[in-house]
Chains A and B, each alone.
Chain A
Amino acid sequence: MARKVLTLAEIRDGSLRNVSFEAIAAAKTIADGGEVVAALVGESVQSYADELIYRGADRVVVVENEKLKNYTPDGFGQALMAVVDAEKPEGIVFGHTALGKDLSPKIATKLNSGLISDVISVEQTGGNFVFTRPIYSGKAFEKKIATDGLIFVTVRPNNIPALERDESRTGNVSSLSVDIKDLRTIVKEIVRKTAEGVDLSEAKVIVAGGRGVKSAEGFEPLKELANVLGGAVGASRGACDAGYCDYSLQIGQTGKVVTPDLYIACGISGAIQHLAGMSNSKVIVAINKDPEANIFKVADYGIVGDLFEVVPLLTEEFKKLKVHS
């Protein structure tokens, strides 16, 4: 049964986020031949509309307002609800990002709807759309269906493949004027703490350090390796608790759950709570001095050795590879 599905496009550092293209792909599946409408919300965002069409949206609705410069649940909530009222979608897909996690429960509550969050795959069985999502931070999975209200989901970055970009696609881009008022939370300042570019949840490569890194300086070789691979640096709880790095880098059941293509664990023993956050990565490399370390049980490739010897060697090898290819 064809249905109209709405997605919310997200912009970060001046570009559309990849997860927004993945959300369009998921929306296309759920639409089942119906229309996919992308909402584009912000202060001045019209210029991103064509890209959303190339990525598979059939139509784009742009809501621009100076009060939408920064994300707030009230501001974006009002904008989104105006689009929902105008479009009356039967399905909604957001990215499972800081913004998506914050806004989706509000919209779902306003629409008296269920919400299936952190979805990693969508399949159609019989008349139902079945959504798979991790529980216990990836120690198990559940399959869920929507039984009442809209089909409303958030999709985890890096899991549902985006559609191929196609510049020959065309679609209508319209504007919706929304009166944004009574913002009860105001963003006074945004403090950048992350290194430029690569966000942990969207990184294709993660180089993570544990207690074996021994100090904040010990993370330097890991950062170099991550740079060469265009990846991000992460850490275990042990490393964060020891003060070697910021909690925002923590991967595990408390902390972030990540699924990169390549996860390089350096000096991480592999406590269950850490494994929960990373064991669904596509390929895992473990580097540890202790051959008995738990991390080797989930690793595809392991090197038993001192990370301070191995990591710089790896960096050099990858540099060579980059030069040759």
Chain B
Amino acid sequence: MEIQCKTSKEISGMGHPMKRKEDARFIQGHGRYIDDIKLPGMLYMDIVRSPYAYAKIKSINAEKALAIPGVLAVITGKDLEKYGLHWMPTIMSDTQMVLPTDTVMYQAQEVAAVIATERYIAADGADAVEVEYEPMKPIVDPHTSLDKDAPLLRPDKPGKTDNHIWHWEVGDREATDELFNKAEVTVKEQIYVPRIHVASIETCGCVADYDKIENKLTMFMTTQAPHAIRTVIALVAGHVGLTEEKIRVISPDIGGGFGGKVPVYPGYVIAIAVSFLVGKPVKWIEDRSENLQADSFARDYHMTCELAADKNGRIQGLRIKTLADHGYTDAAANPSKFPAGMYSIVTGSYDFQTAFTEMDAVYTNKPPGGVAYRCSFRVTEAVHAIERMVDRLALEVKKDPAELRMENFIKKEQFPYKSALGWEYDSGDYHAALKKAMDIIGYDELRKEQAEKRKEGKLMGIGISSFTEIVGAGPSRHFDILGLKMFDSCEIRVHPTGKAIARFGTKSQGQGHETTYAQIIAEELGIPAEHIQVEEGDTDTAPYGLGTYASRSTPVAGAAAAKAARKLRDKARKIAAYLMEVSEEDLEWEPGKFSVKGAPEKSKTIQEIVFAAYTNHPLGMEAGFEAVHYYDPPNLTFPFGSYICVVDIDNKTGEIKIRRFVAVDDCGNIINPMIVEGQIHGGLTQGLAPAMYEEFIYDEDGNLLNGTLMDYLVPTAVESPHWETDRTITPSPHHPIGAKGVGESPTVGAPPAIANAIVDALSHLGVTHLDIPITPFKVWKVLKEKGAAG
């Protein structure tokens, strides 16, 4: 679909495939990531971690470590306890140890920290710390967590008598049960979406720099939400004198986030505590194994899914019961009123009469987490459930899955659409997206080919996923994190010569904000994007915001940019009227200038107007040309798309080859098509990853068996197919520039497309479901079982 640009290429407002402004430094090795920061007198920290999933700490002996020249200190939970810093709150208002005083709760948990003058010496020191443990039998399988004889994992929580964290439910239980009792057709599957890890190529780390003279902490940190972190530090450490005006959080260039850089990890807190005590900068950088083994996981939902329909496949009801494994504490990264995130988008793109979903979260002896992995608050789990179940129904009623979808989609004219679980979808045209994907891939021909192949005993499958996303948290009446409302912000300062700097409360981790935000402002003000410098990530200079995750930057901060720019355009109109001695109503705007209606030769460019704001502004008007806007969205945005995947499977080895993958995405109006396409490519590979490769595997003692990149399989360029992308454009009716988020749509939409294709290839053998990741071995076992292995 062609994009209509309102601005010239020189201005490069919305719709232009402008090359990225940030690239110059990255392609020349001049990015500034956390580990590139080096301060005079800087100390290094390394962490001693538990080899056990559940154990009592009998003793910690630091003697040998302290004997190493250059090792300055070994910090334990008992040391932090003296300052009341051995516990911290999680985002979900649970509590988490910074360092343990007596018990470790998961493998790779932080046990002690070693401070040294050099990186290698700190690592030597960590090796030399002797910890004596008394191992206990851990809870690994969440299904046993609520057993009567299960050990109570959180005796630290007053009144806690079992390992249940919360129960959450939404929808009409009674109506749904009644509907299922009467339904002509029901289908049911157990679907597991496994525990995975974002594994951004840069791990986490920080440099905590406390200046004793100024009583000021500068915290360089890999964080996707610098302002929220500043407030959290002030809340946690205010009692030792670190108040919020004395804390500056700087998030430098970030080497990928994907949600993994939202939480506060113990390492950050220990580094701050040590810097505060010794008055020197302290650097802590995780290695990859620590990052995989201890940092927040994603997913880990065990879902029992049921779908009810009439005999023709008209979808009627949905019922899902989920068990969520949260590990040792509830450290999920969700808005506070949404313990299961946006899981209730689970009715997806379909018009349901009624639905009910409930969930129970439990503690186990695994690392805490529940972050996104490039998914907007548990949407991936929801989309996987509904898209697998729709295929399951198609199989049951013997209908083509594309046809079944077309018959059950919410229709274009039903928007804004109120879903059975309470969301108001802003806009959509699901039929158009699926039709486009089918046309591009040649769906009908592929079905014919599949029928032929089956006759020859060859395995080929076609999988569809028609997902609905929910992004842009969010309206402040519903959405907050630790009480902080989820608005976001933009401040624009235009200099006298017409060039600008704009600052935001968000933080890019590769999304290209330095380019796309500049394009939004260019669209609104007509100042070339090239001349708009975008800055994020420094809490001393940027306006307050909640950060970048859950595809919220464009829906929220992008809207703030447009709104702030429009305030400036209103001021520009006043100045232009004054300069040309006409009334404001007599002026018309085109990108970059105001001209007099009916006398287009009489005009003032935005640059002339801005110059006048500093040199010749009207009497009674404030001088200068600056604006700030804090945007509180009226609703979320609902991007969507249809993906089709074609696989060929080798019946001798189970090897799965993705022959083609077509992704048609709709994220509303597009700011930069090059960047949008890049976001989709990347998200698709991160959707492929859990569909076929990635899963954390624990043994019965709670040992993580694949905690390095050697055996946790992040897809390379060889596994990743050549993605084919296209688009439809259905603007968001409530967003100032009609845009929706996009970064996570493909991660959300791709796994069921791939799983559906593989199950489709095996469906004639009686296969109705396979849990992801679907590996060749898993497929080979099924083929063997069904007597179909070659």
Q: Do A and B come from one complex?
A: no
State the B residues within 8 Å of A (CB): none
State the A residues within 8 Å of B (CB): none
